Structure 1
Amino acid sequence: MPTPRRITLKDLARELGVSTATVSNAFNRPDQLSPALRERILGEAKRLGYRGPDAKARSLRTGRSRIIAVILAESLTYSLNDAVASELLSGVAEVLDAQGHTLLLLSARQMQSELPGAASMADGYIVYGLMPSETLLESLPPQAPLVAVDFDVTGRPSLHVDDEPACHLIARHALASRPRRPGIINLRLTAEPCNGPIVPGQRLLGAEQTITRSRLLGFHRALDEAGHDPAAVPMWNIEENTFEVSAPVIEAILDLPDTERPDLLLCMSDRIALTALTLAEERGLRVPEDLRLTGFDGIAEGQYRAPRLTTVRQDSVEKGRQAARMILGLEAPRSRTLATELWLGDSCP
């Protein structure tokens, strides 16, 4: 029995009595059609079994696939659940949707060193976070546009927030209360995996590799100005920005004797600070009377619970929008730094 012929875009256009461009717009540029017309086209396409323009054929014909790949440093599950990463993806998707492009999500942790075949069709790449392998970046098509977010790639535009000055500002505020035992909880700062105390001589990643190093520079500058020796301030490292991974480290900190336990924790993320807040409350420690806490990111959870978190707010949605605009050529592809905002809450008034 012969295989039924696959319906084409031309067939659907003929059936509806519209141009092939109109059918194409229904799938790729919905803003060009009235909602009623687009609904009619999509309904008829579904009835006839037409699934939309063939991306491979279009790519071969036009040299463009209208696919933008976002390569995430972490797993897809982690990134979609992380408030900061999901806000960035929301900003990227908003711009791509408006321009009729498709978003392809990839995890660098899962790929390690090879680019999947589908990703090689992408018109451009937004790379977010510290990549586990430089080989992966080298496998990307050299001529394709690329924007790095929260780290640097030589010769390519990058997007950052003002990490160092923002951390200097929040630490200066926190240190004005004259704590006796400040401490710093970092996020992915060490060159080798470490979920616990950072010991002298341990190798740290550079500022071009991780935003944590820039944030640490801001903390250290404020500590020095306040009369603390930055080298004497204890530091811990967290390998993943989740409650489950950070909790054992923070429990060990909070269970130190009263004379050793920090009375101020400068945290590299809101998730770390909120974990410390929860665990401190479980131990009967009062925040901010016994322990002051600061975060970074400005996620909603930190502003809805009591005591409200003192933090630095970064606009991750706008960061995603700007990355998408650059990759599509809607804005000049140049490196830029976005401003942040200090939010004073109850955890460190």
Structure 2
Amino acid sequence: MTAKETELRRMTIKDVARHIGVSTATISNAFNRPDQLSVELRERILNECKNLGYRSPGLAPRSPRPGRTGVIGVVLSDCLSYNLKDCVANQFLTGLTEELDKAQLSMLMLSAKEIDSGCQFRQHEAMVDGFIVYGQMNNRQAHEQLLRQRKQLVSVDCIIEDSSSIQSDNFGGALVSARHALTHQPQRVAVLGLRLIDSRHVCRVYDPCELFDETESISVQRLRGYNAAFTERNRQLLHDNIWNIPVNNHACAQQAAREALLCTPRPELLLCMSDTIAIAALQEAQKLGIRIPEDLKIVGFDGIPEALSCYPSLTTVYQNSIEKGRQAGRLFLGNTDTQQIMLSTELLIGGSCPRPSP
């Protein structure tokens, strides 16, 4: 061990406080009670400590075991009401709470918008043992706030640097579903995508450069799967036939579906990035007198119960969102050694895009 390393190892909290010019209580609060300091002061202290090689004895570096409070913060990319109503998000939360109940832990649900407020986030950070982040994190400020926190972090359906992650095989599921749909040899195909670009409006995606990075967006991963299926058949999926739907709800999906179905020539296949979108497209087609599957074939993604009970039933990609929630809980609690988990998907063939006739 060098003399420098020995000196750093011997540094006490008093030495660090003296070097930075603050009290020992302020140093302790920077590590253990972030709600007591301003963002600027805490960041300065943490950066100085990092440069000095000092780590608070009371700070456990992202331990896979829960810490002092017994509360897990769950950061949701959408508003709380949406996640309680959305079937996929609801299933995820069901699986997650099963694991937390077993461990006798509590859950604090937060929306990504709440992370924007530095003061509010510091209060939340002090209340929880760590965070599980669910959904596409396009909020850069919230993303950076989460990176700065010094607690256990698990990301679900998104990628956050230096964190464990879990997601479904979005590329593979989309690839298999598009392969199946293209066996019907449709001439005109449209994609009803979900959050492909940074826009709050239903619109077409004319410029591929506008797409989110695929590490940030499961929808772009699905689009890449669709494109791969087209490439296998020496075909190209045109960007002016791709719609961006900003919110996974019936109203936005209905608008996009109607725009696509009123195009001339009309699509013969709709590849939908959620079952909510696919169901809205199916209903809109029926209003327009379009026969399914004779005139139009529809493929969804998610495998929610409504997809199987509608008429005709949807052909869709099933992802086990309840199991995803369970796995996220186990990953956070350290009940698995795997740090990056990819869950398989399954193609469910329904009446909206059946197998081709022999």
Q: What TM-score, normalized by structure 1, do the two folds share?
A: 0.78
Q: 2:295 aligns with which of 286, 290, 296?
A: 290
| Aligned ranges 1:28-177 → 2 under 5 Å | 64-114=68-118, 115=121, 117-140=123-146, 142-177=149-184
Q: Which amino acid aligns with 1:235?
A: I
Measured in 2, the distance between the counterparts of 1:111 and 1:155 equals: 19
Distance apart, 1:192 and its partner CA: 3.8
Closer, same or farther: CA 233–170 of 1 in aligned 2, 3 Å? farther
Question: SS at 1:139's partner residue?
Answer: helix
Range 168-177 or range 183-192, more displaced: 183-192
Quote the Cα distance in structure 1 between the aligned partners of 2:169 and 2:288. 35
> Are residues 1:241 and 2:245 paired?
no
Does the residue aligned with 1:266 lie in a helix, a strand or coil?
strand
Matches within 5 A, 1:120-269: 120-140=126-146, 142-200=149-207, 203-231=210-238, 234-257=241-264, 260-269=265-274
Question: What letter corresponds to residue 137 of structure 1 in structure 2?
Answer: H
Contact 2:205 2:239 in 1 (8 A): no
Cα distance in 2 for residues equivalent to 1:146 and 1:134? 17
Deviation digits for residues 49-73 of structure 1, max 9, x if unmatched? xxxxxxxxxxxxx961000111000
Is the 8 Å Cα contact of residues 138 and 216 (structure 2) preserved in structure 1? no
Percent identity over the alignment is 38
Q: Distance between the aligned counterparts of 1:333 and 1:116, measured in 2?
A: 29
The amino acid that maps onto 1:151 is: C
Distance 1:116 1:308, change over 3 A: farther
Q: Give me the CA root mean square deviation.
A: 1.7
Counterpart AA for 2:233: A
1:70/1:105 contact within 8 Å kept: yes
State whether residues 146 and 156 of structure 1, in contact with CA within 8 Å, keep that contact through their aligned partners in structure 2: yes
Q: TM-score, normalised by structure 2?
A: 0.76
Give the letter aligned to residue 277 of structure 1. L
Post-superposition offset of 1:120: 2.7
Shift of 1:242: 0.2
- In structure 2, stretches of 5+ residues that fail to align are 1-65
Q: Which runs of 4+ in 1 moved over 4 A?
A: none
Q: Verify the 8 A CA contact 1:297 1:312 in the aligned structure 2.
A: yes
Number of matched residues? 286
SS in 2 for 1:230: coil
Query: What amino acid is aligned across from residue 315 of structure 1 in structure 2?
Result: N
State the distance in 2 between where 1:103 and 1:228 align: 47
Structure 1 residue runs without a partner (length 5+): 1-61
Q: Is the 8 A contact 2:250 2:276 kept in 1?
A: yes
Kept in 2, the 8 Å contact 1:88–1:318? The answer is yes
Displacement of 1:138 in angstroms is 3.2
Contact 2:269–2:298 under 8 Å retained in 1: yes
Matched position secondary structure for 1:106: strand
